Structures are given as C-alpha cells and as structure tokens.
Chains A and B, each alone.
Chain A
Amino acid sequence: MKYTLSLLILCIACTLHDRDSRPVSAVPAAGSGTTDSAAAAQAAKDSSKPVPLSTDEQLAWRKRLPLPARCPEYDPDPSDPDSFGARVLVLREKQTVVDARCMLGTYQPSHLVFLWDGSAAKALSFPIYQTKSPARTPTRREVGELWGLTEFDASSKQLKVFNKFRQTGDCGWWALYSFPEGAVKIDEFHLKADCDGTDPMNPQHWPSVAIQ
C-alpha cells in the first residue's frame, strides 16, 4: 500500500512536469486522461498491476523505441482496456522494461520487449520451449518477438506470457520471466501441446517444463 501511494504521488508529480524534459526511466505516470483514471484507480487497488500509461505516454514510449516498420502505428482506443501500445515495468533506477505491441494478430498480438537504461533501448530476447508433438521432449530456443497475451506484475517485477496455440486457449504455453540485472531469466514455463479441449483457463497449472 505504501509503495502504491508513493507511486501515485510520483505519478502526479510526473504529470506536472514538461513531458519532453521528464526522465523516461522514472516511475511510470498515471493516466492523465479521464478514460484512464478508472484503470489507474483499479491498478492502485492491486499492487501487482503497474499503473497504466496514458495514450500520450504510450505514444511517447513508442517513439523512443527502435520498432521495425512492420509494426503498425499504434491507434489508441481509450474505450478499450485491452488496447495498448506500450506498457512499462520499472525494475530500478535507469532500468525499465518496455513491452511494445507490434502486430495485432488474429487472436493474440505480438510484442517486442526492450530494456530502457534512460537513454537507449536494448531489444530483449526470451527463451521458450517448443515441441512438435506432445510426446516429444520440448526443446529450447530464443525468440525476439513474443506472441501471446502479456502482463507485467509490478510487485514481483515479472512478466507473464500466455501463448495460445489456437484461439480457444486449450493448448499453448504460459511463462514467467524476471529481469535480474536487466537480463532475461525464465522462472517458470508450462507447456500443453495437446489441443484436447480441456483446461483452457488455467495455463499456469499446465505441465511444467524443467528449465535448462
């Protein structure tokens, strides 16, 4: 609670500053628009949810990132809480993880994730496990673009990713990443390769993959 209140005070202070002169590695600002205030209030109740950025702040973050041309322009829709262009997770001073949406996709978007040190953005890659059939042992590889539904946990400083193999969400993988010293570390990885129609809402309890 104390942390949340501090965040809100800092955020209010941030909105009073000139945006261009504001240090971007600072604590993310609360939404300044009326449509964001409900989300900000909700986030304030739940310390695990980062305070959402206003659409202007999201646009400003995207301008700072080396997003490739294939990522469409962010078209803000303040009425839709599922629409976002950028989210941030402040790790510590001069270390902010930025999740920028790239393609909207069919039923799950893609994301490019960067580490911002206050002056430059470094693209992060993420280890995942994959298998071509449920019977095979998953193999590890690195991906630079995350497809799926992402969510920051502000209290644990982690990123949750749910990648659905099909839209119904009964198969896919669910992963939890942390960022010690700004590097990507995989904390949990759950994989269900069998699209059998069961357990679509509980991916964090799917079979766990032993992290190598």
Chain B
Amino acid sequence: MRVPLSWLREYIELPTSDVGEIAHAFDMLGHGVEDVLHLGVGWTDVRIGRVERIEAHPDADQVRITHVDLGDGALHQIICGAWNFDAGAVVPVAVPGAVLPGGLEIGERKIRGVMSRGMICSERELGIGDVHEGIMVLGDDVAAGGLGSPLAEVIDLPDVVFDLEVTNNRPDAMGMVGVARELAAWFEVPYRWPTIALEATGGPPTTQVLISAPDGCNRFVARELRGLTVGPSPLWMRERLRRAGVRAISNVVDVTNYVMLELGHPLHAFDVDQIAGNMLDVRWAEEGEAIVTLDGVTRSLTPRDLVIVDADGPTSLAAVMGGARSEVEPVTVNVLMEAASWNPATVMYTSRRHDLRSEASARFERGVDPNLAPDANTRASALLAEIGGGAEVSDLIDVVANEVTPWDITLPIREVQRLLDDRFTVEASAAALRRLELEVEVEGDTLRVVVPTFRPDLTRGADLIEELARLADYDSFAATVPTGPVGGLTAEQRRTRHLQDVLRGLGLHQVINLPFVSHGELAAFAEGQVEGVVSVRNPLRDDQAKLRQSLLPGLVRNARDNFNRGADQVAVFEIGRTFHARPWGEDPRVPDQPVRVGVLVAGRFGNERIGRHRTDADAATALGIVGALGEAMGVVIERRQATPAGFHPTRAAQLTIDGRRVGIAGELHPEMAARFDIEGRAGVVELEVAPLVAERPPHQMTAISGYPHSDYDLSFDLPAGVTADRLVAVTSGASDLVEEARVFDEYRPAGPTRSLAITYRLRAADRTLASDEIEAARQAMIQAAGGLGATLRGSANKEDE
C-alpha cells in the first residue's frame, strides 16, 4: 500500500520527519517498506501554465507548437511532442533555466528551426508519478491559484511516499488512519480520525436491501445521495489519490477510493436510477447466471460467486467489481453509496477465478471490520455531498446479517515470558497492548484482553504475544544459541554425500531437472504400456502434466540443450525422485517416490592428452561408471544383458544388487539419440540410490601379502552366451591363489564365438609361490574354463620377467 507522508500527517503528528526513521518504524511494525518514493525533488522552476493555442510545426509532424500563458502577460512558445491535450489544458511547464530530475537543464533552443522556450512535462519527467504517455494535464482548478505559480506550491511538494507490504492478516493497516494508529502505538503519540459526521437531509431511502446469503455478507450499509453532479473531484483529492497510486476518474468514484484508502473500507457506488425494482439483495449466484461487469466483460457465474441482484438479476459481483448496468455515468444524479462487509474466502475465490484482483479485493480478503462500514459510509457520503454539488443524503440503510462484537482473550503472563523474556511484566504488557487500542484488565498474573473488531488477526494468546514482541522492537531481543542434543548425518546421508562426490570425481556435473514430463517422454523409457503414472491436476503446461518415472528424459534434454549451446561433451548426473502410482513404503497414502541417480555421458570423455586421439563416451563408459560406483560404494553391482526401453538393444544391462533389480545402464538407443538431437552415442545409467547408500558394516581389512606375486595371461575362446564375469569368476575360483584377475582384451571375429584375454595375478599370504603350484593353478583355471565350454587360445607366462 502506498502511503504519502503528506496525507498521513493529516492523522498524526510524527515525532520525527526523518524518512529513514519513519521507514524503520514501518519495518519494525511489520509493514515492510518495499520502496520509498521522493516526489517533487530534483527539479526547480516548474510552473503552472495554460496552453492557449496549438499549431502544427512546419517541418516536423511528431511535435506541435504550443503557446502557453504563464501569467506574465506574454505567450510562451513551447514545442511539445505529446498529443494528449488540447488548447485550454492546464499543464506543468519547466521554464528556461529549470532543472529536471536527472540534471536535465531546460533552455531555449530551436527544434527543426522553430524556437522552443521551455518544456511541458509528464509525471515521470517530474519524478512524481509513473505516467509518461503524454504530459501531465492538471485540472482547470489548478489555474485558480494563478498561472505562473510554482507547481510545487500548488500541489504541495515535495512529498514522500512509502510503499508498504501489509501482511495478509492485517486489514486494519490497509488505510491511512490504520497506519497512523500503528505509528501512534510505535512512537507513543496520539493520532486522530477524520471527521465522521453527516446531516441527513434526504429522508428515508427508496432502495430496499436484503441479505439472503448471510454466510457471504455480514453487513450491508448504504445511503442514497440525490441530486449530485458527476464531475471531476478537487485537486487535493485527485493529487492524494494519484500519490497513493489510484487514478482519478470522477468525484463519485474518487470518493469511494479516497475513503477506501483513508479508512481501509472499500465502497461501491450504484446509480440508484438503474437499480431495478428499488431493491438489492445479496445472494449466491445461480448456476448459469451471468453478469456484465464495469469493464464490459460478460462473466458466467457459479453458486460460489456472491452477487448483488436487483429485480432484473445480478447487478454487481459483490466486493469484486460492479456491474455495467448500475455503473455511475456522467449523467448520473442519484447514487447509492454501499459499504458492505463480505466473507473473505468468497472474495478470494471470486476475485481469483475472474482474475479481478483490486485494491478493494485486497482489503476484503484480509477481512474488513464490519463495524467500520457505517463510519466509512458516513465519511464517503459527507465527502461526496460536499464535492458533488450539494446532494441530499438519505438516512442510513444498515442491514446486519451477523453481528460481530469484540472478543476476549486470557493471557497468563508466564506464557509471554516463556516465549519472549522477563522484560514482559504484567504492567508493561498491559500498557503495550493498550497502545493498540485493546482493552486490558490485569488480574494477578493474567491479562484479560478485549480485542476490537478491527483486529481479526488477534484470536489467541499467541497472537497477543506477537503484538508484545512487535511493540518491544525485535531489535531489542537478546541473541542466544541453543544447541541440539545430538547432531549429525545418518549413515545414508553421509554415503549419499560420498556418492555425489564420487560422481563429481568421475568428471560428471550435477544437474537438477524439473520432474514434469510429457506422455511421450514417459513412453520413451517405459517397458510396454505407460502405467502407474502420477499426474498433475493443474499443470503449468499440458505437455508437462506427468511426474517422471525415470530421470533419463531430463538428462537427455540436458544433453540436447548443452549440445545446442555448442558443448562437445556432456557428462551429467542427477540425484532426484521419480514418482510411481503405488504406495510408498514409509506412508502408503502417498505415491512411491524413490530417490534415484541418473547419469548421461556423451561426446568426448575421460583424460585428454594433446595429440592423442579422443575417446567418445558410449555404453562402455556407462558400464565403467557403474563399476566405479560399485567399487566406491563398496557394493557389488551385477550386470546382465537386457533390452530396457529406450536403450541400444545389444548394449544395455540390467543392474542388480544382492539379486534385486536396482537399475539399468548402457547406451541410448540410436533412435532416441536422434530424436533428441544427440549426435553420436550416449552412455546412460539409472540406479536406485537406497541400496547404494544403505549403511554397511565397516570394511574389515584384507591382509596384504608381503610375498612376491606371479602374473600370467590366459586367452580363451568362448562360446556364445558365456559372459566375461562368469569366465573370470570361474577361472579365478579355480585357485585360491588368485589375487586379481582382469580382462585386458576382447577379440571378436565374425561368428558367434569370441575370445577374451585375462591377466591373473597369483600370490600367497604366507609364502613365495613355487613354480609347480603356479602351474597347477594355471591348469586348474584352464580346466574350469573348459567347464564353460571355453578353450585355451594361448598363454604367456610372465612370471620370469
């Protein structure tokens, strides 16, 4: 909410004029200052002028030549590029010698051969408003103060505007008077209300008001004003509205806005003569009903929308926007001024559903005090009667559907001290709450507090404790640090850190993807039909309406995006949840959402030596990463040939830990790579995180032998279907002397067989190996391989090397 200091000062004499101190007070009261605008500073010599004549520029069609009366008996020729005014307009003129904000000096200069002596200014050029479409057109009444008078004097500048962020629970602070009340409590000074008085001259109203929906409207207060003249409101009101960020429209509309800004209670004016049947009723809309609102839009209604109807149906979308049918027009002479108290939830629903959020809805959503309605109405009626040409004002219509009265809160002082500190004695606390206009009685160690109806946010002791803390100034509290009894990460959390460090160490960059995918992306990596999908009911985009079941669509997108940006390598991983429509183990009410780790590597990868041929990532890289992860996490990850969806059909593995399927690894299917603009191959891995990071017993050291080793290689021809890990396991298992066995070459001639070359290292824990035991081991291995159908291809004994 924008609070012009000049306006605020009508209700309070502040003990300081220091803008920083006032802003600090707002901040510490909880009405955060988002911005401080200094109006009318940084310029000099801007005067009131009246454009007497306008003519075209002979050599320029974007500008016009104006002749402006500045009250000195001469007409001043000024070239102006704005077109939003005609002859007779009263305007602000920066005369030669004037300086505008930003240091622009105004002089006399020729524009396309025509002399211009000064400049007609816009609000923005003067730094007093946001409007820059056209110059600032002042009302004719401004000229009454004398043409040539300094603008700053006429409209009371400079001024300061505080832009406050009033929290959602504070309807009372949404008006100048309420803000003054807050500052009064802070600075401990008095504040005052505007005069709320009216002489009713028009007798009983002609309009009958009903509330048929008491659950939507607590109170409906109204008055009729008859015989008024719709026209512009006076300069002071227009200027205040402008500084508060509200556009002046007409005296009737301006008064409703003015009182809303002043007291925090929105009002609405109907043209009485357009109310059919002399009756208004507040009721829930019926299904299929519609209303044309002030903005000319036809809006279809539901039974959750509250409307004000007359004999012809809806004529106002209650609290949100008036209807076009009863809108106040320039010809209107009789007005019904409404101040009603609406159900905040209803206003919230309707204003959002119709996208009609306004200054009024912002107040009603917070819960405007129903007992403020009569005063707001009286204030508005009196103002309109005054500036609207002496209208007659009817008696008050006041329909109360639900009476709201002050309520009590009992607050033992120890509750305050328990949460705050010992400074909050009974006496000090009572005094502080009284500054907020709460009635407080002290009974021993307990405060009995009566809360006025303008503070709906105060319903419990806890709410009062906040008020006490607030008025004590949050800055005044000591700072102490309690420490928890036992801190630390769980084993799983520590191992997850280790997992991400390992992935980083392998040269992978961690990414974070949104978990929303399209059906097509789900299908790309789904085995068979897409099943078990959790959908977003109100997605950001229709093609992002499903929750991911795999991390891979996101990683593939990352690869595509980075290649499109010119990367020649993408090596990324993500640790995040996937979502599956089956009960989650820890709470069956919510869907299963396991944490997974996904990896994608494409393009060059690994150590790079200049001059050496680069290696591009592929399925081997993915399998290598799986191997490294298993080793680093101390987990055996078994790999079995598989054909998971989206993967290269002969280059993919299913991964298991302790016999349980935990993921897949391999190469992206060439079709999938093409679909995502990935040139070449991409190695991908997706694994459940839980089995990787599950707590494990501490590793027990394997004794390191001090005896010499003996190495030899064996090369086997393998029949189809025998996997490398099987051959290695079987041959290594043939001798208990094998310390290490590693495949170092694969030879694949055409045909079903292939050969693998394995290097073995033998070593005993307790002796130097004798050549006959080495030979025995070798023979045992060859024999064991034979059991798999593998035959020795050749061997080279390296032990003598």
Q: Do A and B come from one complex?
A: no
